Amino acid sequence: MKKTTIISDLDGTLYSKNIGLTNQIDNLASAFLSNATGMDSRQLSQFELAHPNILDALNYFGIDKQTYYNNVHNKLDYSALHPDLALNNLLTSKNINLFVVSFSPKEHIIRVLSSLNLISNVTDIFAVSETNCTNKGDCYKDIIEKYNLYNPDICVVGDNYILDIEPAKKLGIDVALISTSYHDEVLTFPNFVNFLQSNWFKVDKLEK
């Protein structure tokens, strides 16, 4: 069944990790958390494995979300991001309803989408920390309810299996993982453009 709706992660999904922005986020986040908690890199890595949801981690240590964002996202250099004409054209031609769900603050989401020239292709933005949700699965349910969506029409796509993909699978939603590595539990695609060229989106113009 062709898909009419995509619920997508942002960083490392709508743009390549090779650009370097995700590395900036990871490095700044690790430096901040290490300084705030006193953990060394080994301890921090172990903690992140047990608490992959950054909102859970911040809550665990009683760290204010805005303080975290000020020390991470407000220090990012976005100069490597450029308009993605191929992705823009594909989203437009296939008439996709695109929702973006991210643990990043809304200001960051908008800046990334604007830099990629994709803001006009997005139906709605959900910054998890600015909703009543504590994880992406809750946001997926809110989107489905708010927009009266039908699960078989939806595909959730992201680059993190635990945070992006597992919650969608529990809801019975089709999923795709953006990764250059094979994963035996989910379809994988090297990038978002390749994902949009799959059989799920083989019709250039969907019926209205």
Tens digits of per-residue pLDDT, 148-195? 999 999 999 999 999 999 999 999 999 999 998 888 889 999 999 999
Question: Rounded to 5 degrees, what are φ and ψ at 70?
Answer: -65, -30
Q: What is the per-residue pLDDT across 82-130, written as a single tens digit (0 to 9) for each?
A: 999 999 999 998 889 999 999 999 999 999 999 999 999 999 999 999 9
Say what the pTM is.
Answer: 0.92
Q: State yes or no: pLDDT of 206 exceeds 50.
A: no
* Number of C-beta neighbours around residue 81 at 10 A: 19
Predicted pLDDT at 182:
85
CA distance 131 to 142: 10
Cβ atoms of residues 87 and 96 within 8 Å: no
Q: Which domains does the chain have, with CATH numbers?
A: 5-16+82-201 (3.40.50.1000), 21-75 (no CATH)
Q: State yes or no: pLDDT of 1 exceeds 90.
A: no
Cβ atoms of residues 16 and 191 within 8 Å: yes
CA distance 166 to 54: 16
Q: What is the per-residue pLDDT across 51-67, written as a single tens digit (0 to 9) for each?
A: 999 999 999 999 999 99
Residues in a beta bridge with 157: 8, 176
